[in-house]
Structure 1
Amino acid sequence: MKMRINFFYYLLLLFGGFNINVNGQWPFYFSDSAVFRLKINETEIGIAKYSMDREGNYERNFTLKMAGQKIDYYMEVSMNNKVWNLIEIINGKDSLIIKNENNIAKYTVKGKSYNYEIDSSTIFYDNYAPVYESIMLKKYDMEKKGKQKFSRYIIPSLKDSVEVEFMGNETRQVNNTELKLLKFNMKLVGIEIQLWCGEDYKIYMENVPIQYATFIREGYEELLKSKTEDPLLSKPEFEDTVYTIMVPMRDGIKLATDIYMPRTSQKKLPTILIRTPYKKETSLLSGHYYAKRGYVVAIQDCRGRFSSEGVWEPFINEAEDGYDAIEWLASQDWSNGKVGMIGGSYVGWVQLWAASLKPPHLTTIIPNVAPPDPFYNIPYEYGTFFIFGSIWWAEVLETNATEDISGVAMKKIFERKYKQILRKLPVIELDKEIFGRENPYWRKWITNNVNGGYWEKANFMAKLKDLDIPVFLQSGWFDGDGIGTKLNYMELKKSKNKNIKLIIGPWGHTDQSTTKLGNLDLGKEAGIDLQTIYLKWFDYWLKDIKNDILKDSLVQIFVIGPNKWFKSNTYPHPKTEFKKLYLESSKGANTSKGDGKLSFIAGNSRKPFDEYIYNPGDPTPTTSSFFKNVEDTTGTRENEINLKDEDKKETEYHKKITDSRTDILVFETEPLKDSLVIAGPLSAVIYASSSAKDTDWFITFSVIDTSGNIFTLTKGTIRARFRLSTYKPILLEKNKIYEYNIDLWQTGIRISKGEKIRIEISSALFPMFSRNLNTGGHNEMETEYIKAYQRIYHSKEFPSHIIIPVINLQ
């Protein structure tokens, strides 16, 4: 859920909400005092009260009310001759003073001082009220019109250029009076924002369509009424009542469930079930959204979480608990017998578990960004232990961080020095380090390091081929659980089910779309209205509304570069041609300074193999700068984020690692002579030997642009003992050559002429993944390790290669 730039992203920052502009002297200040209400999906979650005088002195208080919590965000800007001299911010328990000293913004956080240079042309940005948009619009040249850019500062973390365009005049009826409005579009951090102001440039409404968020000036709520609506789309025509009930499971445990009941005369209603480990109240916006449109919504705390009874153990109880919740809901007097489910990440996972048992009244599911079986993503990925993701997620759960809407609890988790902590052995003891005690499910994850057995109750993918209900999968190319959507879809394809919908966009781990990825503008087409598509899907299957949801192609994948959706009825796209890129080298592929090559022609390698030493005592680091060492952090203003600079720093860190680490093999194509569209699932076949009884293999797939910037697209891994099956580990014979098939997830991008494809091969990606100790023992329960002498073969007999999905645009 987001607001303006990204509401809850900034709540995760210590001083989330310090989204203000730093400016010099202007003649554009004006007197305004107002109350604005923030609504997301028509539900009010916050109220902003502010006042500004003609000198620019400004005071604002924003009160956030959500999930039973209330937080005040206060800001005051003091002026001297229309030049700001002091900004005071109080967010919950945190406070910050920013002083202007000779056009330098100075402030201190946790004893560390920060200096920020001021550009006199920039405009304040307050994330919690839209008053400074009025000042920006006053500077807009109405004679020139068109797209105009303004510098905005979001202190202390971000600066960006804002693009503003006048879209025309509009007259709306408000309080039985015609109100003449000017409509502008503003693009900030890749997000389109619609502004409606009067002829005096006072803002009356600010709307962020892609985030379903609106600031509305009090007294002007009639502006919220939409002029154009799909006649076949469920309308927000009902008020709703919320009450809590304890729903019994088959073993007598009762799960706390909030029921959002529409106030309607209709006796039989469809139901949408949302099951969550993150506190049911945090999903209230979804509850109100669908209830207002005639659905009964049941939001349930998973077993052992928050208000539910029982013991919390991830994965294991969700199939049966989901089944029982669905059938209980369908048995209620108000039910029409049809139950759907929706939600992302774990909330998507629980849908697949429940569906695998085929409850009779489950009609459809929309698992967003949902993982696969636990042994293929988290906590394990093809046998390698995803140590960072697993311990991070466990801490989120154990601290109940998701219930804290201020973001303070989440920030404490993000501040952990994982690179240092995760070096400690044995891995199983990390629960004591992080939680101060033994954690039962953490230890079960580790002790059960082979698929099957303990994991059988959590495995569902093999059952998907028998699923006969409509399924709508949604994910992004950069979703950290994106392998789940890929694998789940491939299993569903084996069924006789003709209604499997798939949307993969250029997004991360989210059920909402966006039009910007870092510094990359993805274009308007990337920002599709997913929420309306979900609603249409439910309307069709749960309400029998014959809309056009099935008239569109079942599969939509977004290709970065042309920034277009490729549509078909199956995935991979039917025009996909899978091509092989073969590894080769002459002198050696160690480091990015070596001569490792990728070629579409096999058998050209002068050297039959490349080799390196993998030492668990000095594990190969991940190339993500998120895990960089303290000594790699330079500069005095590290809290400032400039998107272009961040991309540059990421590339510099990536190069630093691959330039220096001889335990990384690097293979690149020559600069492409023509552009190449790669869209769909990727994989690799490598032939390798090791001196160890067991080891890990990692492959990173990247693009290098014509400026030398490295853009990592996918990664894949396998633990050697699981090369044939995750159920039956078989250790290695010393120095024997084995074939490994490595899943490289999926991507969708056009690689332009002059750019290069790169892969990197290593035996660790630390601290993302736990180290293989090379002994053949239990890597997460032991402390002894040995070095491994590794070889990757690329001869005619052993032609290691990657397989890429190429779509010919012609």
Structure 2
Amino acid sequence: MTAFKLLKVAFVLLLVGLVSCNSTTDVQQQPRTVSRDGKAYLVQDSVLITTRDGAKVSAIIVRSKAETKPQPAILFHTIYTRTEDINRAYEAADKGYVGVVSYTRGKHLSPSEIRPYVHEGQDVYDVIDWIAKQAWSNAEVGMYGGSYAGFVQWASMKEAVHPALKTIVPSVAAAPGIAEPMENGVYFNFHYPWWHYVTNNKTLDTVSYYNGKRWNDLYFNWYKDGVAYKRLDSLDVEPNPGFNKTLEHPTFDSYWKSMTLYNQADFSKIDIPILSTTGYYDGGQFGTMHYLKSHYQYNPNAEHYLLIGPYSHFGAQELPEKHILGYDIDSVAQIDIKNLIFEWFDYIFKDAQKPTLLQDKINYQVMGANTWKHVASLDKLATDSLQVYFSNQRSGVAFKSTYDTGNLGVNEHFSLAKSADATNYIEQTIDMSDRSQFSWNLSGDRSIVSETLTVGQGFSFATEPFDDDVEITGAIRGVLNVAINKKDFDCNVLLYEQTADGKFFSLTLPFTTRASMSQDKEHRNLLTPNEKTAIPISNFRMTSKKLKKGSRIVVVINGIKHPFSQINYGTGKAVSDETIQDAGKPLKIKWYTDSFLTIPINRY
């Protein structure tokens, strides 16, 4: 530890001694008066709250000096320590609440060790408990925040719902062990730099995190060299023990269960009103829908609302982008989510009207129709469905395709048929030892709207054009029937609209799964080589769009071999242990033509 860090820790410990009378109930830093924009506030920006196990959580409290009665508190708890965080507390104070920002233990002024995820459940519960005991508190607390700050709201209720916690508004909520750092068993590389970002110092290591060249070089060097995934940091400039720790738990085991809500005991007790927000282009939708579906499943009377639209991970938290990845979102989708969140708080704490946009439990924006719709439950989203099967017959529909090399070419879809054929298949071969190319489906510029489709080494399938306008709303389901010559593989499925003029509109983010974990996230069940196996598609991301007459639905399937996630060599060993030496014979995938998708639709 450097001399500077020692001095800083010494100062924090001295501060704790000065402001604390005992180990469990702190007498905190005295508030100071701050004038801002003609208003007077009482500010405490160096508070340390003692948790039940003696750790210290750093917090900021802002109150309106004009307010003398106890008030509800709005809590924002995060691992992302930024100097502008105090503005959130000021904002809450301006809206008639006590604003509280607290940080993951070890962050800001906390002298504790930084351990993402692990202590958040108990720590946030303890912060709520501390707030409820303050003279300025009326013992009512609401929480909001996105991504990691969405996860901590759910985590705070792992043991029990604190009596003072009256509502949460988790946006794009993370769900460790379920939605990150893996998805259906497959680890994604973009989680790797995150650990440095949040643990390298008391604030955020922006220097390393925004060094795109460092991470891009790392991923491509790993891909080229073929070293084990658990040795990814051996190719980097510093070790990454936090990320490596997650690799020790590739299934949803007790490590993840200790921090994540997942079963009846966790959800049945949650009876406070909840508003969740997410987007069709939000990686965090996976986590948000896990919490929402589980809450409904284990507490059928849950007062849990969902707001979802054509939003990204960041746009779904506070202010959506008007232009997202080349797509201009409909005008009615251009809402101020942050303002709606405080309208929700007024509804809960001040007997105000519920936000007008929340007309039912599920509130979604139909892209291309410039309208919002509202239904009572997820199973009411669609009134009809279209079941289609993967055919080995060409559709006769040519399209422009982009190859791994960046070159343009012309390709032809296979058909999505109305009937199944259990005997035929399309065979795909992927040489895991060949690093001259990789199977990558997404368009190079990550645009939602594109003139071309990137199929990689996979296959695309298309429906017949629709005779009338039709709305696709909900999450597709289905089964991939496959046989492979190895014990495991990873794959993805992508969903597009192909318009009458040949353009491609990406309807949501890809579905990714590990075959051996597609039916059970707690246990890995290896495939029997060359035996037909069913891979369910059960948690595809939701979307909603009006498809115009003449459009087709296009589906792309592919095995995974690229620099941006784990490479599953199919030996049956722990995937993080496998190296290019385990590649062996090329992977052969038989995609059987009785594989099917059920597409939820509403007809006009």
Q: TM-score range by the shorter chain?
A: 0.7 to 0.9
Which whole-Å deviations, capped at 9, do the CAs of 1:163-213 have from their partners, x for residues lacking one? xxxxxxxxxxxxxxxxxxxxxxxxxxxxxxxxxxxxxxxxxxxxxxxxxxx
Match of 1:534 in 2: 341
Tell me if structure 1 keeps the 8 A contact 2:150–2:169. Answer: yes
Alignment counterpart, residue 279 of structure 1, candidates 57, 78, 81: 81
Alignment counterpart, residue 753 of structure 1, candidates 537, 542, 549: 549
TM-score (normalizing by structure 2): 0.83
Q: Does 1:481 align with 2:284?
A: yes
- Classify the secondary structure of the residue corresponding to 1:323: helix
- Classify the secondary structure of the residue corresponding to 1:593: strand
Q: What are the within-5 Å matches in structure 2 for residues 582-593 of structure 1?
A: 582-586=389-393, 593=411
Identity between Structure 1 and Structure 2 (%): 24
Q: Does 1:549 align with 2:549?
A: no
Q: What are the within-5 Å matches in structure 2 for residues 741-780 of structure 1?
A: 741-742=536-537, 743-764=539-560, 766-780=562-576
Match of 1:598 in 2: 416
Match of 2:497 in 1: 703
- Classify the secondary structure of the residue corresponding to 2:472: strand
Q: Does 1:739 align with 2:541?
A: no
Quote the Cα distance in structure 2 between the aligned partners of 1:400 and 1:708.
Answer: 49
Report the CA distance between 1:336 and its aligned residue: 0.7
Structure of higher CA gyration radius: 1
- Classify the secondary structure of the residue corresponding to 1:775: coil
Quote the Cα distance in structure 2 between the aligned partners of 1:479 and 1:505.
Answer: 10
Quote the Cα distance in structure 1 between the aligned partners of 2:281 and 2:583.
Answer: 33
Q: Does 1:788 align with 2:584?
A: no
Report the CA distance between 1:775 and its aligned residue: 0.7
Tell me if structure 2 keeps the 8 A contact 1:620–1:664. Answer: no
Match of 1:363 in 2: 166
Distance 1:690 1:290, change over 3 A: same
Quote the Cα distance in structure 2 between the aligned partners of 1:626 and 1:612.
Answer: 22
Tell me if structure 1 keeps the 8 A contact 2:381–2:474. Answer: no
- Higher mean alpha-carbon deviation, 753-762 vs 416-425, is at 416-425
Q: What are the within-5 Å matches in structure 2 for residues 620-635 of structure 1?
A: 620-625=438-443
Quote the Cα distance in structure 2 between the aligned partners of 1:759 and 1:647.
Answer: 15
Tell me if structure 1 keeps the 8 A contact 2:295–2:302. Answer: no
Report the CA distance between 1:514 and its aligned residue: 3.4
Q: What are the within-5 Å matches in structure 2 for residues 240-259 of structure 1?
A: 240-259=42-61
Quote the Cα distance in structure 2 between the aligned partners of 1:280 and 1:411.
Answer: 15
Match of 1:324 in 2: 126
- Classify the secondary structure of the residue corresponding to 2:62: strand
Quote the Cα distance in structure 2 between the aligned partners of 1:402 and 1:767.
Answer: 29
- Higher mean alpha-carbon deviation, 756-765 vs 612-621, is at 612-621
Distance 1:768 1:576, change over 3 A: farther
- Classify the secondary structure of the residue corresponding to 1:707: coil
Distance 1:390 1:360, change over 3 A: same
Cα RMSD between the aligned structures? Answer: 2.8
Q: What are the within-5 Å matches in structure 2 for residues 449-488 of structure 1?
A: 449-462=250-263, 463-488=266-291
Quote the Cα distance in structure 2 between the aligned partners of 1:778 and 1:265.
Answer: 59
Match of 2:221 in 1: 421
Alignment counterpart, residue 724 of structure 1, candidates 514, 519, 533: 519
Report the CA distance between 1:575 and its aligned residue: 4.5
Q: Does 1:354 align with 2:354?
A: no
Q: Does 1:502 align with 2:340?
A: no
Q: Report the number of matched residues.
A: 540
After the TM superposition, list the runs of 4 or more consecutive aligned residues in structure 1 that deviate by more than 4 angstroms.
398-404, 407-410, 587-592, 625-628
Quote the Cα distance in structure 1 between the aligned partners of 2:545 and 2:221.
Answer: 36
Tell me if structure 1 keeps the 8 A contact 2:493–2:510. Answer: yes
In the alignment, structure 2 segments of 5+ residues that lack a partner are 1-35, 402-409
Match of 1:691 in 2: 485
- Aligned residue type for 2:506: T
Quote the Cα distance in structure 1 between the aligned partners of 2:564 and 2:555.
Answer: 18
Report the CA distance between 1:456 and its aligned residue: 1.7
Tell me if structure 2 keeps the 8 A contact 1:588–1:594. Answer: yes
- Classify the secondary structure of the residue corresponding to 2:257: helix
Tell me if structure 1 keeps the 8 A contact 2:482–2:590. Answer: yes
Distance 1:768 1:750, change over 3 A: farther
Which whole-Å deviations, capped at 9, do the CAs of 1:338-369 have from their partners, x for residues lacking one? 11111111111111111233222211100011
Distance 1:477 1:455, change over 3 A: same
Which whole-Å deviations, capped at 9, do the CAs of 1:561-588 have from their partners, x for residues lacking one? 1121111232244543333221112379
Q: What are the within-5 Å matches in structure 2 for residues 165-314 of structure 1?
A: 239-279=41-81, 281-314=83-116
Q: What are the within-5 Å matches in structure 2 for residues 438-453 of structure 1?
A: 438-453=239-254
Q: What are the within-5 Å matches in structure 2 for residues 394-405 of structure 1?
A: 394-398=195-199, 403=204
Distance 1:329 1:765, change over 3 A: farther
Quote the Cα distance in structure 2 between the aligned partners of 1:438 and 1:693.
Answer: 31
- Aligned residue type for 1:726: K
Report the CA distance between 1:612 and its aligned residue: 1.1
Quote the Cα distance in structure 1 between the aligned partners of 2:101 and 2:340.
Answer: 21
Distance 1:371 1:265, change over 3 A: closer
Report the CA distance between 1:626 and its aligned residue: 5.1
Quote the Cα distance in structure 1 between the aligned partners of 2:70 and 2:413.
Answer: 69
Quote the Cα distance in structure 1 between the aligned partners of 2:486 and 2:290.
Answer: 30
Distance 1:583 1:530, change over 3 A: same
Quote the Cα distance in structure 2 between the aligned partners of 1:757 and 1:493.
Answer: 30
Tell me if structure 1 keeps the 8 A contact 2:72–2:138. Answer: yes
Which whole-Å deviations, capped at 9, do the CAs of 1:3-29 have from their partners, x for residues lacking one? xxxxxxxxxxxxxxxxxxxxxxxxxxx
Q: What are the within-5 Å matches in structure 2 for residues 91-170 of structure 1?
A: none
Match of 2:602 in 1: 807
Quote the Cα distance in structure 1 between the aligned partners of 2:439 and 2:179.
Answer: 19
Distance 1:778 1:343, change over 3 A: same
Tell me if structure 2 keeps the 8 A contact 1:772–1:779. Answer: yes
Tell me if structure 1 keeps the 8 A contact 2:196–2:208. Answer: no
Report the CA distance between 1:410 and its aligned residue: 4.6
Quote the Cα distance in structure 2 between the aligned partners of 1:399 and 1:311.
Answer: 11
- Higher mean alpha-carbon deviation, 711-720 vs 394-403, is at 394-403
Match of 1:675 in 2: 469
Quote the Cα distance in structure 1 between the aligned partners of 2:512 and 2:542.
Answer: 13
- Aligned residue type for 1:380: M
Quote the Cα distance in structure 2 between the aligned partners of 1:651 and 1:453.
Answer: 46
Which whole-Å deviations, capped at 9, do the CAs of 1:613-661 have from their partners, x for residues lacking one? 1222247432335589xxxxxxxxxxxxxxxxx778x544x44xx2xx4
Match of 2:15 in 1: none
Distance 1:304 1:790, change over 3 A: same
Quote the Cα distance in structure 1 between the aligned partners of 2:413 and 2:69.
Answer: 72
Quote the Cα distance in structure 1 between the aligned partners of 2:91 and 2:222.
Answer: 42
- Aligned residue type for 1:472: L
Quote the Cα distance in structure 2 between the aligned partners of 1:789 and 1:269.
Answer: 64
Tell me if structure 1 keeps the 8 A contact 2:108–2:202. Answer: no
- Classify the secondary structure of the residue corresponding to 2:475: strand
Quote the Cα distance in structure 2 between the aligned partners of 1:414 and 1:262.
Answer: 45
- Aligned residue type for 1:790: I
Match of 1:616 in 2: 432
Alignment counterpart, residue 411 of structure 1, candidates 210, 218, 230: 210
Tell me if structure 2 keeps the 8 A contact 1:282–1:403. Answer: no
In the alignment, structure 1 segments of 5+ residues that lack a partner are 1-220, 225-235, 629-645
Quote the Cα distance in structure 1 between the aligned partners of 2:385 and 2:118.
Answer: 37
Tell me if structure 2 keeps the 8 A contact 1:240–1:288. Answer: no
Quote the Cα distance in structure 1 between the aligned partners of 2:603 and 2:82.
Answer: 46
Report the CA distance between 1:595 and its aligned residue: 4.9
Quote the Cα distance in structure 2 between the aligned partners of 1:414 and 1:287.
Answer: 36
